[in-house]
């Protein structure tokens, strides 16, 4: 409804404004579209945007994929604990982070109360979306 955008900055500002209006259910829907940290992002995807998102998820999570077996096992356990505590997958902007860093962040965030954690997860989701939007707009 806000299109067309005159500049990339105008598009980014609109995306931020919309993100600021989202409620809990909106964030949960966004989180549900992500693979779990350390999980492969493959499977049938109906759209080219979905395929691109899947490929980007795999790229972004290279730190988890390349982690040693002990770290991957610990990530699996932390992911389970996180989902049990909060009811959704652990969301973190994984770009440039090692498996060990993501594991430490997950363990740390398990101590958050549910309201605080939703806010932190939403901020991470916004970072992910911002990076992906930047990639889409890159020449």
pLDDT band, residue 42 (cuts 50/70/90): very low
CA distance 107 to 91: 12
Residue 54 has pLDDT above 70, yes or no: no
Q: Is 95 helix (H, G, I), strand (E, B) or coil?
A: coil
pLDDT band, residue 1 (cuts 50/70/90): confident
Q: What is the pTM of this model?
A: 0.81
Residue 9 has pLDDT above 60, yes or no: yes
- The label of the residue with tokens 């549910």 reads 114
Residue 78 has pLDDT above 80, yes or no: yes
pLDDT confidence of residue 48: 42
3-state SS, 6-53, equals CCHHHHHHHHHHHHHHCCHHHHHHHHHCCCCCCCCCCCCCCCHHHHHH
pLDDT confidence of residue 46: 34
CA distance 118 to 19: 13
51 compared with 109, residue with greater pLDDT = 109
Q: What is the pLDDT of residues 79-126, one digit of tens each?
A: 999 999 999 999 999 888 999 999 999 999 999 999 999 999 999 999
CA 125 to the chain's CA centroid: 5
Q: What is the pLDDT of residues 118-139, one digit of tens each?
A: 999 999 999 999 998 988 888 7
**Residues 50-55, mean pLDDT to the nearest whole number:** 58
Q: Contact 19/127 with Cβ under 8 angstroms?
A: no
Residue 56 has pLDDT above 50, yes or no: yes
Identify which of 136, 133, 64, 58 has the alpha carbon closest to the alpha carbon of residue 105.
Answer: 64
């Amino acid at each position: 409804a806000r299109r067309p955008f005159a500049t990339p900055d105008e598009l980014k500002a609109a995306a931020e404004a919309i993100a600021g209006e989202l409620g809990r259910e909106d964030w949960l829907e966004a989180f549900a579209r992500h693979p779990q940290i350390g999980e492969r992002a493959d499977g049938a995807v109906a759209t080219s945007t979905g395929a691109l998102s899947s490929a980007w998820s795999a790229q972004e999570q290279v730190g988890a994929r390349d982690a040693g077996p002990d770290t991957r096992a610990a990530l699996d356990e932390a992911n389970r604990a996180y989902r049990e505590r909060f009811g959704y997958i652990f969301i973190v902007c994984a770009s440039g982070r090692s498996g060990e860093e993501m594991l430490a962040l997950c363990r740390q965030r398990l101590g958050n109360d549910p309201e605080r954690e939703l806010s932190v997860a939403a901020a991470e989701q916004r970072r992910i979306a911002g990076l992906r939007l930047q990639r889409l707009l890159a020449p």
